[in-house]
Amino acid sequence: MIKVSIIGSGNVAGHLVQAFAKSDSVELIQLFSRKKDAGITLPENISLVHDFAALEEADLYIIAVTDGVIAEISGELPFKNRLIAHTSGTMPLETIGDDNRKAVFYPLQTFSKNKAVDFREIPICIEAQFAADFQLLERTARAISDKTYAINSDQRKALHVAAVFANNFTNHLYQIADEICRENQMPFDILKPLIVETASKILQLSPSEAQTGPAKRNDSKTIAAHEAFLSDYKKDIYHILTESIQQHGKKL
């Protein structure tokens, strides 16, 4: 059994606790939280601690906290030469202090407090200083997910930017579509099947193959009508994305 302790009490920490609790090959031993009430439902055999000195020996400590405090927390750990991983998509491996063995255990997903996720479907990106540590991380990741990837710090930085496009920006386009619906007395519900189908299409087709619409087919009449209909930032966003689709079309 791989002994794991988790440091943190946010969404990622909470989802990791739930995922490890179901595993046969990983034993979650402690959850560290500065707050007295971590707000996480802990399985029976896992103890909640509030003092770094109370952390028992484990094979792996996962620091699941916001980017800005990873370095500080790793510096406060009262032990040396143990394996410490952070869960950030943006921070380099070196964010972990030099006293311990550095690693990254980054689950690439958008976590909400009140929405369950199937952890087996979540890609886990791992990185470590040493080969033996990498293997332990890999076994730990496979205990909760079917999708593990070796991703170095440079790649992870790029991946995080890609995820901003695929997740944050996409969601913002949903928000603009929602606004257009409401401004014209239509429920956003009309668009939901289209949104779900658009996402599920790329499981079968590449985004390039799946591209449709007025920009893709250079339908300048429809594009002009849409731009005349829109104003302000919506018009600017429409324009820049239409141009980008057309430029991509030319490259093919």
Residue 71, interface with a second copy (CB under 8 A)?
A: no
Residue 79, interface with a second copy (CB under 8 A)?
A: no
Residue 223 CB, shortest distance to a second copy, in Å, is 9
Query: CB-based contacts of 131: which residues, under 8 Å, 6+ apart?
Result: none
Residue 173 CB, shortest distance to a second copy, in Å, is 5
Element (H, E) at 148: strand 148-150
Query: CB-based contacts of 126: which residues, under 8 Å, 6+ apart?
Result: 85, 103, 104, 105, 106, 134, 137, 138, 141, 148, 149, 150, 151
Nearer CB in complex with a second copy: 142/248: 248
Nearer CB in complex with a second copy: 52/188: 188
Give dist(CA 57, CA 77) in Å, integer.
Answer: 12
Residue 27, interface with a second copy (CB under 8 A)?
A: no
By CB under 8 A, name the one of 164, 218, 220, 224 that touches a second copy: 164
Residue 248, interface with a second copy (CB under 8 A)?
A: yes
Residue 194, interface with a second copy (CB under 8 A)?
A: yes
Query: Which residues inside 112-151 make contact with a second copy, applying CB under 8 A?
Result: 112, 115, 117, 121-123, 125, 147, 149, 151
Residue 250, interface with a second copy (CB under 8 A)?
A: no
- 9 burial via Cβ count (<10 Å: 0-12, 13-18, 19+): buried
Residue 25, interface with a second copy (CB under 8 A)?
A: no
Residue 45, interface with a second copy (CB under 8 A)?
A: no
Q: For the chain, how big is the Rg over CA atoms in Å? A: 22
By CB under 8 A, name the one of 25, 135, 171, 218 that touches a second copy: 171
Q: What type of residue is 124?
A: I
Residue 48, interface with a second copy (CB under 8 A)?
A: no
Give dist(CA 230, CA 248) in Å, integer.
Answer: 23
By CB under 8 A, name the one of 1, 54, 132, 205 that touches a second copy: 205
Give dist(CA 128, CA 105) in Å, integer.
Answer: 9
Q: Quick check: 124 and 151 in contact, CB under 8 A?
A: no
By CB under 8 A, name the one of 183, 231, 250, 252 that touches a second copy: 183
Task: Give the distance, in angstroms, between the CA of residue 32 and the centroid of all CA atoms in the same chain.
Answer: 22
By CB under 8 A, name the one of 49, 71, 93, 163 that touches a second copy: 163
The two three-digit tokens of residue 91, written as one number: 């921070």
